[in-house]
Chain A
Amino acid sequence: MTLDIFLQHLLNALQWGSFYALIALGYTMVYGVLLLINFAHGDIFMVGAYVGFFIATFLLGIFSNAAAPLPTWASLLILILTILGSMVITGGVGVGIERVAYRPLRERGASRLYLVITALMIGILLEYLNLSILGAADRGFPELIQTKIYTVGGVSFTNIKLLVIGLAILVMVILELIVRHTKIGMAMRAISYDKVAVPLMGVPINAIISATFVIGSALAALAGIMYGSAYHVLSFDMGILIGWKAFISAVVGGIGEIRGAMVGGFLLGFIEVFVVALGQIPGFEWLSSTYRDLVAFTVLLVILTIRPTGIFGVARRQKV
């Protein structure tokens, strides 16, 4: 594998890993605060993509002019409005689910098992709501950014790829700063350690939990729009497999840890892309792309066997 081919795959891996990482953040934040695995989160990603689709289509309808192509400022404006709009609405959906489905259970002191099962049901509900309302046909996500291909040396990449990677890294840095250095972040970490003592600090627990769901869901929406911009196909079940894989990324990275979600997401992206890439090299032809998931999950299993709490995770002491 020559250097430029390697770099090419590296960029692909970073982009692919960005989706996992952005979704994994939502899993890991909710888990960090509530010790709840929010299995509906993959479908929140789907909701975010669809909300983005509708906003973008609507805005394109307003701005479009049959006579002339859209000026750059207009398409940029549409992109920004689509991202912000979908993040806000999807954040609302996430916190709405929390209020309607999870909080009543928590307030009755239900075991976490029931919460996890409820989350699974909410996920299925979202999928089939979509299917029954919008029908089975896939949607084509509009091209919000004119795809441009750059070539440096032997490596070619699109502006969308750079945008996805850049946004993902930016978001993770911001999030890490919030969790480490703001009072809300401190409260999130404190809740994960001891829920009984947190209200004694004057911290409104429910508001912090809502904020966690809003942030996690908004990031899934961002991932959804980026995914739509990169691959242009939306379907009602698009969140299932990617959601599961993002969840596994979060666990491998150390669930509850922001850095863990990032590293786990990129790691899974790398393994998947490079397994396929290796299959193209003479001598490795047997490694066809059908081996991708097999190899990826074998590696992750090995990591978990060596470090059951994940790469960055620390064992929680069970307090009585």
Chain B
Amino acid sequence: MLLEVKDLRVSYGNIEALHGISFHVEEGEIVTLIGANGAGKSTTLMTISRQIPHVAELGGRVTGGSILYQGEDLLQYEPHQVVSKFGISQVPEGRRIFGNLTVLENLRLATYARKDRDQIEKDLQRVFDIFPRLAERKNQLGETLSGGEQQMLAVGRALMTRGRLMLLDEPSMGLAPVLVRDIFETLKEINAEGTTILLVEQNANMALKLAHRGYVLETGTIVLEGSSAELAANPEVKKAYLGG
């Protein structure tokens, strides 16, 4: 088991946002967490990446449970170590690219902890092969990119950390359907090349088409789990998340 979240509890102030959730991700899988706004999906990813509780602005804290990555508890580590030591990258909600840095600088910053210079250049070329638009705009500031291009950059940045596990928080948000399809197609390729993916989505339709397995999160509790086919066929899921 690559990642195992056990009975994880997270609170913001006095309000508990995750009421002890458990799920796991196997090596090579694409697993999705689907759920409505406010279900706790982003909180889950930010806790795995240790932004909660280390980024004070987010205001959350872990009150119980564990996050095991190949048996080691991530809750012992600092946020940057989750990336540099364990190779867990994240494409955050809202993309959060650095608008005051160029596209190339955004990608280079993601290699901060890496020392393998030659491989970095190869990875950079790979990102530009996957997203030729980024190559065209590599010297432009991040804030001048369109929403779709920013999402490409956010995914490219995660690839540049050379993580084994990529967490994605609503990569479809705010994008035209055509772009969403492109991004999801790319995710499939990235996964085929060996990166395990944990995908958080409101767009359950797309997510279940891509993922092998999924979990349904409702107000801080996992209410359903199963293979993507099972979930897609489940009447409750259909009603609540698939529009019929």
Residues of A within 8 A of B (CB): 106-109, 183, 186-187, 189-190, 192-197, 199-205
B110 contacts across to A, CB distance below 8 A = 201-202
- B49: contacting residue among A109, A190, A200, CB under 8 A: A200
- Identify A203's interface contact among B55, B59, B80, CB under 8 A: B80
Is the Cβ of A186 less than 8 Å from the Cβ of B51? no
The smallest beta-carbon distance between A178 and chain B, in angstroms, is 14
Closest to A206 in B: B78
Check B55 against A201 for contact (C-beta < 8 Å): no
* Measured CA separation A194–B78 after assembly (Å): 18
Q: Output the residue of B58, B82, B108, B109 with the most chain A CB within 10 A.
A: B109
Contact B55 A196 (CB under 8 A): yes
Q: Does B84 contact A (CB under 8 A)?
A: yes
Q: Does B89 interact with chain A (Cβ within 8 Å)?
A: yes
Interface size class of B (residues with CB under 8 A): 35 or more
- Residues in chain A near residue B55, CB distance under 8 A: 195-196, 199
A183 near B108: Cβ-Cβ < 8 Å: yes
| Cross-chain contact A202 with B113 (CB below 8 angstroms) | yes
Minimum CB distance partner of A185 in chain B: B105
Instruction: Name which residue of chain B comes closest to A184, CB basis.
Output: B112
Which residue in B50, B78, B84, B109 is a CB contact (below 8 Å) of A183?
Answer: B109
A196 to B97 Cα, complex, angstroms: 10
- Interface-centre pick from A197, A199, A202, A203 (highest chain B CB count, 10 A): A202
Interface residues of B in 97-147 (CB under 8 A from A): 97-101, 105, 108-114
CA distance A209 to B101 in the complex (A): 18
User: A residues within 8 A CB of B82?
Assistant: 199
Q: Which of B189-210 touch A at CB < 8 Å?
A: none
Residues of A within 8 A of B56 (CB): 106-109
Q: Which residues of B have CB within 8 Å of A186?
A: 101, 105, 108-109
A196: shortest Cβ distance to chain B, in Å?
A: 5
Closest to B87 in A: A202
From A190, A196, A205, contact of B109 by CB (8 A): A190
B59 touches A109 (CB 8 A): yes
In the assembled complex, 9 residue pairs joining A and B whose CB atoms fall closer than 8 Å, in A order, are A186-B101, A196-B96, A200-B51, A200-B79, A200-B83, A200-B161, A201-B157, A202-B80, A204-B78
- Enumerate chain A residues within 8 angstroms of B79, measured Cβ to Cβ: 199-200, 205
CB pair A196–B112 under 8 Å, yes or no, is no
Chain B nearest Cβ from A148, distance in angstroms? 45
Determine how close the nearest CB of chain B comes to the CB of A232; give it in whole angstroms.
Answer: 43
Q: What are the residues of chain A within 8 A of B32 when measuring CB–CB?
A: none
Q: Sorted from nearest, which 9 A-B pairs have the closest CB atoms?
A: A199-B79, A202-B83, A109-B56, A202-B113, A197-B96, A202-B84, A204-B80, A190-B98, A203-B112
B residues contacting A by CB (< 8 A) are: 49-51, 54-59, 78-80, 82-84, 89-90, 92, 96-101, 105, 108-114, 157-158, 161
Q: What are the residues of chain B within 8 A of A108 when measuring CB–CB?
A: 56
Q: A201-B112, A201-B161 are in contact. Are A196 and B101 (CB under 8 A)?
A: no
Q: Which residues of B contact A193 (CB under 8 A)?
A: 98-101
Q: How far is the CB of A103 from chain B (nearest CB, A)?
A: 10
For the complex, give the distance between the alpha carbons of A197 and B57 in Å: 12
- Shortest distance from the beta carbon of B113 to any chain A beta carbon, whole Å: 4
- Residue ID in chain A nearest B53 by CB atoms: A107
Do A189 and B98 touch across chains, with their CB atoms under 8 A apart?
Answer: yes
Residues on B with beta carbons closer than 8 Å to the beta carbon of A197: 92, 96-98
When distances are taken between beta carbons in the complex, the residues of chain A under 8 Å from B158 are 200
Instruction: Give chain A residues whose Cβ lies under 8 Å from the Cβ of B83.
Output: 199-202
Beyond A183-B109, A196-B51, A199-B51, 5 extra complex contacts between A and B, CB < 8 Å: A109-B57, A189-B101, A195-B55, A200-B96, A203-B80
Q: Are B49 and A194 in contact (CB under 8 A)?
A: no
- Taking a contact as CB atoms under 8 Å apart, the answer to whether B108 and A196 are in contact is no
Contact of B161 with A194 in the complex, beta carbons under 8 Å:
no
Closest B residue to A200 using CB positions = B90
From the candidates B57, B59, B90, B109, name the one contacting A187 in the complex (CB within 8 A).
Answer: B109
> With the chains together, A160 CA to B209 CA distance in Å?
72
Minimum CB–CB distance for B90 against chain A, Å: 5
Q: A202 with B108: in contact, given A193-B101, A196-B92, A197-B96 (CB under 8 Å)? A: no
Q: How many angstroms between the C-alpha atoms of A106 and B80 in the bound complex?
A: 17
Cα distance A88–B114 in the bound complex, in angstroms: 28
Inside 8 A of B98's CB, which chain A residues have their CB? 189-190, 193-194, 197
* CB-defined contacts of A106 to chain B, threshold 8 Å: 56
A236 CA / B55 CA spacing, docked (Å): 38
Which chain A residues border B54 with CB–CB below 8 Å? 199
B58 to chain A, nearest CB (A): 7
